Amino acid sequence: MKYRSFGKLDWKVSALGFGAMRLPTICNDAAKIDESEAIKMVRYALDHGVNYIDTAYPYHGGNSEAFVGKALKDGYRENVMLATKMPTWLVNSWQDMDKYLEEQLQRLKTDIDFYLLHGLTKERWQKLQKLDVTGWAEKKKD
């Protein structure tokens, strides 16, 4: 696996990450993840050097985050940086930001390393700026 410097962090990210948006499903139902098969895939990737996993609030009908949390059990969480994403289209206040982050952490049953702004458009960015999303994020970081 090839690795690259990641900004100013003392960490190198694998050139290949693992996205948890299109996992194997049961009966072609996107909300029903074939967990056995998908866990094999995630752990294979991690066993072969992938060290970044990305998921998000709406993936797989809201089930991707809980799945990723399960896949990272048994010591796998310690070897990976984990990202999920704020569902910006649902956010209208700091309380919403708190609510969705807490829900996502409950789904994952672990902490996260990166919290990205998902589905960002010009209008959503302007709304989030007015809500001071960066100030909110700084408080959460602390």
Instruction: State yes or no: is 59 an active-site residue.
Output: yes
User: With b meaning 16 or more CB within 10 Å and e meaning fewer, what string describes 47-78?
Assistant: eeebbbbbbbbbbbeebbbbbbbbbbeeeebe
Please name which of 8, 2, 9, 38 lies closest in space to residue 23, comparing C-alpha atoms. Answer: 38
Residue of 59, 76, 100, 115 with catalytic role: 59
Q: Give the residue numbers marked as catalytic.
A: 59
